[in-house]
Amino acid sequence: MVIRHLTLVRQVLAQSRIAVAVGGLGLVLAVGSAASFDAAAASRPGPGSYLVKTKSQLRALRKELFASLDKDQQAIVRKIDYAVRPNWRVAAYASHQGGHRDVVFYGGVLAIMEFLTDAALLERHYASAGCVQAYMKAIVAVDKKNRERILTGHPPKRIPSVFEFAETESGPCKSMATDEFYGNPTVVEERRALLKGGVAYLLSHEVAHHVLGHTDRWQAADFVDFLEKRRAAESAADDWAFSRMAEIGLNPIQAFAVMMYAAATNRYSAEEERRSTHPSGAKRFRVMLKRARAMSAKGTPFRQALVRRGELDEWNRRLKEIEKSFKKLMVAKL
């Protein structure tokens, strides 16, 4: 999401029902070894719990993702300041004002990424079929109320983790001890890989807005033209983020948690999309799947790397799993 032309946006929002989508960036803590993991804290984090380790993760990922950029792009990246705000708002943005470049993340979007990743792993490893969809429905309802609270000047309320949801709701999400879940080496390793990939995409998406000039001033004929250019900028930032992931050998389906959430919360019709700053979440998710298929097509370097590591069958299985979940999500009443 890009913060620019705010006066114009506020004026139009005051006059009509414009759907302004949240941006997409989440940074996740606790992706290390099980021995150093605080399971109780992970299952019930507060929005401020993401502040400390996020900064060190940002530094490490910036070096890995952006080292091969050209000099002009690296000069832009070096000027960006990063902030994490202890708030349950599900949003992130890039801004460039007064010569100062920022990328800001809210605690809510960081939490969503972790919680949905955990729900997917519960479903995969602990016979909790339908957990992702059930949990998604619950947090979409919380997000809807929080958006209303934000618009009326009230702080957003806490987002429950999937483990809290499992404890309070009878349904497909398996209620279990968090020590068991976070103590499972297979879960810990998959979680680490998924969160790293998701963070890499989301970080790159926000940085792309700076590198591609989306945070600079540009002209729009009218507000309709402005919205069209904003949607094009979001798609371009997605493309740039995926190219950065491919550059370091990561794959786009690791960003499925955030993309799935965007698909659930931004389920626009064609008309609604024309009134939004972002493409529909469903459209962005379909493009992500298309990119993933293209990356692993015959003859591509990414497919060759999967074959060398003996991971091609697992890649195809996971991709089919995600496509199946997405189809269920699109027909679900959230």
pLDDT tens digits for 210-262?
999 999 887 788 888 988 999 999 999 999 998 898 888 777 777 878 777 87
Per the structure block, which two tokens stand in for 66? Answer: 């952006």
pLDDT band at 36 (very low <50, low <70, confident <90, very high): very low
Query: Strand, coil or helix: what is 174?
Result: coil
Residues 261 and 116: beta-carbon distance below 8 Å? yes
Q: Considering only 32-41, 151-160, 216-225, which range has the smallest mean pLDDT?
A: 32-41
- Determine the Cα–Cα distance for residues 23 and 104; give it in Å rounded to an integer: 10
Q: Considering only 3-17, 64-78, 108-122, 157-171, which range has the smallest mean pLDDT?
A: 3-17
Is residue 334 scored above 70 in pLDDT? no
Per the structure block, which two tokens stand in for 118? Answer: 């955990």
Is residue 44 scored above 70 in pLDDT? no
* Helices vs strands, H then E, count in the chain: 15, 4
> Residue 94 belongs to what H/E stretch?
strand 92-97
> Residue 75 has what pLDDT?
95
CB atoms within 10 A of CB 196: 18
pLDDT band at 322 (very low <50, low <70, confident <90, very high): confident
Q: pLDDT tens for residues 49-70?
A: 555 556 677 778 888 999 999 9
Q: What backbone torsions phi and psi does residue 92 show, to the nearest 5 degrees?
A: -155, 155
- Determine the Cα–Cα distance for residues 234 and 206; give it in Å rounded to an integer: 9
> For the chain, which residues make up each domain, given as ranges?
2-252
Angle formed at CA 53 by CA 101 and CA 247, multiple of 5 degrees:
65
- pLDDT (average), residues 179-189: 90
- Determine the Cα–Cα distance for residues 143 and 157; give it in Å rounded to an integer: 9
**Could you give the percent of the chain with pLDDT greater than 90?**
22
Mean pLDDT of the chain: 79
- Determine the Cα–Cα distance for residues 211 and 213; give it in Å rounded to an integer: 6
> Residue 4 has what pLDDT?
44
- Determine the Cα–Cα distance for residues 118 and 116; give it in Å rounded to an integer: 5
- pLDDT (average), residues 14-29: 32
**Could you give the percent of the chain with pLDDT greater than 70?**
81
pLDDT band at 29 (very low <50, low <70, confident <90, very high): very low
- pLDDT (average), residues 145-150: 91
CB atoms within 10 A of CB 224: 11
Q: pLDDT tens for residues 105-125?
A: 888 888 888 899 999 899 888
Q: What backbone torsions phi and psi does residue 317 show, to the nearest 5 degrees?
A: -65, -45
Closest listed residue to residue 18, CA positions, set 298, 320, 277 = 277
